[in-house]
Amino acid sequence: MRSTTDHAMVHTIASPLTTTAGHGSDIDRPTSWLISVLPDSAAELQLWGICGVLVIAALYGIGTRRVAAQGKKERAGLDGAADTLGEGLAATAGGLLGGAWRFVAGQPLWGEPKTDSTYLRPGERLDRALAGDLARPDTAMDVKTPQPRRSRTAFLTSPRALTRMGETWHRWPGAARSAVRMGTVAAVAGLWRAPEWTAVILVITVPVAAAVAILVVPRGSRSRNDAQTYGPGLWAALIQVLRLSAEDQERGEAYWMLLPADLSDGDARIVIRLPLQWLGAEKERALLAHILHSRLPGEWVASYTQRGRNPYVEFTPKPAPKPRPQLATSVPWRSTGNPYKVFVGQAVEGDRIVDVVVATESETPHWGVAGDTGAGKSSMLYIPVVHGRQNGWVVDILDNKENSMIEAEGHSGIRIHKTTRACMGAFAEFMTSMIAAEKSLGLDGDPQLRTQLVPRLLVIDELPTLIRFAYTWWKHGIKQKGTPPFIDWFTIILMMGRSSDHRVVVGAQQFDNSLFGGTIGRKQIGTKIVIGKQDMVSWGVAYGQNAPRFGYDTTIKGRGAYADNQTDPDGDYAWVREFQAAYITPHVQELLTNAPQAPAWFDSGEMAPWITPEALAQAQEEAAAANFLPGGKFAPLSRPVVPVRSNRGVGGGSPRSDLGTVLVGTGGGTKIGTADPDTALAAEQAEDASLPDTFSVADACKEGILPWRYETARKYLLQRSKDRGVAVPEGVTDGRVTYYTRAELETWLAAWNTAKATA
């Protein structure tokens, strides 16, 4: 019995141990593990000792760095070592506990936060980039510039995919990151202890959690105001721009800057406190403005207050510019009632539309219109013709294109000169009339002649073409040597015209100095109007290289720019304004029909009655004009068409070019001739037709006269020709381009080839 009892007792004592081993392993497992790892041999004890020394050394090193960072004075001996080791233990324990807390709370595990997210609110990436150099403003990120969208494929395959995924993870609210971390730990534990049930739970919960995150968690800055979105980036830059110390930074961004919740609000204001040591020099202010504009949307105006103990700068939205007034596409012409003030259109000056009136009695007696063919230049030249005739002026029109001013033809007080010889004769007669009028107006002038003076107007439809044809006629038509006098005549007229009531209106492609005899002559063209497209060179010739160009709608007829010797309010250069020319063409004939009758001598084709023999001698002495006046060797064979009807109360269609009587100059130079008008006019036209064609270098290359491209031909002709001793042909010019006859180019080409072959 005893043995049986002992056996039962042993069994009873062993049963709890067995039961504990089988059912209570969760309780005993840590104890068993601790017992199992205890050293049970000398080798294991030695390993434990080495590990202990390493741990103590690591803790001591951590403690040393912490003591140095805290600025404490380390004690000597065992007490100092104990203090250092204690600091290491505290730092390690704090780090472990802090890391555990950051893990549970969803905070970043190491480093500075990459976004400004909170526990319940998503965040935006903090821009901690340097402020950038003012000399290279493109180094700062512009939050206003939209970034290109990336496709999902690019996101997955980009080398920066992991970085972007990390940035997305850090933008999550802390609660979401905590849930993911703790859920991951729970899932790992579940898979270890109960894999089947855990897998089922994961299959159900993961899709549900993902759907909730997509629907509930806001993306980006949808739920964020502007202060929350842009504040961190601006604060990170201000630290560097204002050179804030660590103590200043501890006061926080709310102390140093104030951002509105809505930057697009018209009453928004940004206030930035300035440290007392910040000097606020011009470059520093420019850098601060650059930082603000590179990180905030919109345009802002700064207002500095640096006096007192609390200096600050306030930025307010830049006022929206007033809408620029729009010119009408068509401006009707009207008379000013003043013979010396010509209404020519309207222009934009600042925020208003103003009338453009050319005041020819002031320092701008002459004016001009520039523009390419078809831009509306000739149409605008009707304005001075009509204005002059309405005020009793007589008008000479030089139109060697023969059809540009057809609406004015055949009316009293208007002479239209169409051939080169006729234009040069009218040019000479106008200059002589001006010299004689100036003499009559002097103190020793004849009072009787003074009473006959009538204001005169010379309108040149296409000055460059006229000069080109005149030079060709001089050289190849009448076979003259040297420099023709035409440009000198023009310069004299421009310089003396205002005081003698002889004014000029010029039409040209550009206001080149060579067309006016130099800068002094060109300056007399006080009001310069450009119609239609103008290249950079032509713009600079008209208004100066410093005058800023601006765009205008060149598809609108008569749209352009003008300047009238005024200086721009914003700079030391010509004040150029957008301009719309008045449209007068449909009413030209009606207005000219109702104009006063011109003096009989003008309609009879005679020279001005105040041109005395003394004035003729002076004109010949000063400008060699006698040969081009009636009776001279190069005088016109015909005189301008004389109207056969009076202006008053007479209507009808466009006058024909063969109306009236053609007059021929006689020996006296002022009387009506009797030659057949058709014969005289035909002779002048035949003379023009016999003039050789002229070609620019570009035209010569297109026609095949020169066997090169334009750039090569120009280099050979104008640069290398002299180096090889080949004479460059003289040619004729229109002020911009030099033109050569076919014979001149062929002669030069033969000499060039010969020189090249013998080189």
What is the per-residue pLDDT for 157?
A: 44
Rounded (to 5) percent helix, strand, coil in the chain: 45, 10, 40
| pLDDT(282) > 80 | yes
CA distances from 404 to 64, 367, 382, 603, 605 (A): 99, 19, 10, 21, 21
Residues 6 or more apart whose CB falls under 8 angstroms from that of 437 comprise: 453, 500, 501, 502, 608, 610
Q: Exposed (0-12), middle (13-18) or buried (19+): which is 25, by Cβ within 10 Å?
A: exposed
285 burial class (0-12, 13-18, 19+ CB within 10 angstroms)?
Answer: middle
655 forms beta bridges with none
Written as six digits, the tokens of 176 are: 């979401």
302 three-state secondary structure: strand
Which segment of 124-138, 252-266, 360-374, 724-738 scores lowest on mean pLDDT? 124-138
Assess contact for 526 and 493: CB atoms under 8 A. no
In this model, does residue 246 exceed pLDDT 70?
yes
Amino acid letter for position 587 = H
Q: What are phi and psi of 418, to 5 degrees?
A: -110, -20
> Contact 627/636 with Cβ under 8 angstroms?
no
Q: How far apart are CA 137 and CA 287, in angstroms?
A: 9
| DSSP notation for 451-477 | TT---EEEEES-HHHHHHHHHHIIIII
Beta bridge partners of 368: 506, 528
Length of the chain: 759
Amino acid letter, 124: E
Q: What is the pLDDT of residues 460-504, one digit of tens each?
A: 988 888 888 999 999 999 998 888 888 889 888 988 888 899 999
Region 294-323 average pLDDT? 89
Cα–Cα distance between 253 and 262 in angstroms, integer?
18
CB 427 within 8 A of CB 628: yes
Q: Give the pLDDT band of residue 670 (cuts 50, 70, 90).
A: very low
The DSSP secondary structure of 64-124, one letter per residue, reads HHHHHHHTPPPPPHHHHHHHHHHHHHHHHHHHHHHHHHHHHHT--SSSS-SB---SSS---
* φ/ψ of residue 747, rounded to 5: -65, -45
Structure tokens at 242: 């204002």
Determine the Cα–Cα distance for residues 557 and 605; give it in Å rounded to an integer.
Answer: 36
Strand order in the sheet with 270-273: 257-258, 270-273, 312-317, 300-305
Give the C-alpha separation, 543 to 572, whole Å.
12
- Return the top range by mean pLDDT from 296-300, 516-520, 637-641: 296-300
Closest CA relative to residue 688, chosen from 637, 632, 628: 637
Instruction: Dig out the tokens for 133 from the structure.
Output: 């150099």
Instruction: For the chain, give the percent of residues with pLDDT over 70.
Output: 81
DSSP three-state, residue 629: coil
Nearest CA among 81, 109, 80, 74 for reference residue 95: 109
Q: 149: exposed, middle or buried (C-beta count within 10 Å: 0-12, 13-18, 19+)?
A: exposed
Q: How far apart are CA 512 and CA 471, in angstroms?
A: 17
Higher pLDDT, 446 or 385: 385
Distance separating alpha carbons of residues 560 and 551, to the nearest angstrom: 9
pLDDT at 375 over 60: yes
The position carrying tokens 């807390």 is 101
List, for residues 183-225, the tens digit of each pLDDT value. 888 888 888 888 888 888 888 888 887 777 666 555 544 456 8
Q: Residue 169 has which token pair?
A: 């993870």
Read off the tokens for 175. 């609660």
* Confidence band of 348 (pLDDT split at 50, 70, 90): very high
Q: Pairing relation of β-strands 331-332 and 352-359? A: unpaired
CB 43 within 8 A of CB 64: no
543 vs 540: CA distance, rounded Å: 5
The answer to whether 415 touches 426, Cβ cutoff 8 Å, is yes
Q: In this predicted structure, what is the pLDDT of residue 662?
A: 33
| pLDDT at position 663 | 34
pLDDT digits (tens, 9 = 90+) for 412-437: 999 999 889 999 999 999 999 999 99
- Number of Cβ within 10 Å of residue 432's Cβ equals 25
Distance between the two ends of the chain, CA-based, in angstroms? 145
Q: Which residue has the tokens 């510039």?
A: 145
Q: Which amino acid is at 103?
A: F
* pLDDT score, position 197: 84
Q: Which of 59-63, 359-363, 393-397 shows the lowest mean pLDDT across its residues?
A: 59-63
| Secondary structure of 84-97 in HEC code, one letter for each residue | HHHHHHHHHHHHHH
Q: Is the pLDDT of residue 159 over 80?
A: no
Predicted pLDDT of residue 105: 77
Residue 115 burial (CB count, 10 A):
18
Task: Find, among 414, 437, 393, the residue nearest to 619 by Cα.
Answer: 437
- Helix pair angle (613-623, 486-496), 10° resolution: 120
Give the mean pLDDT of 556-569.
91
* R_g of the chain computed on alpha carbons: 48
For the cut 60, the answer to whether the pLDDT of residue 644 exceeds it is no
Question: Which of 78-87, 121-130, 725-734 holds the top average pLDDT?
Answer: 725-734
Residue with tokens 């403003």: 137
* 9 pLDDT higher than 60: no
DSSP string over 526-561: EEEEEES---HHHHHHHH-TTSPP----TTSTTEEE
pLDDT tens column, 707-718? 999 999 999 888
% of residues, the chain, pLDDT over 90: 30
Rounded Cα distance, 247 and 407, in Å: 85
Residue that the structure tokens 């390690």 belong to: 92
Cβ–Cβ under 8 Å, residues 379 and 356: no
pLDDT category of residue 667 using cuts at 50, 70 and 90: very low
> Confidence class of residue 522 from pLDDT cuts 50, 70 and 90?
confident
Residue 542 in contact with residue 401, Cβ under 8 Å? no
Residue 27's pLDDT is what? Answer: 54
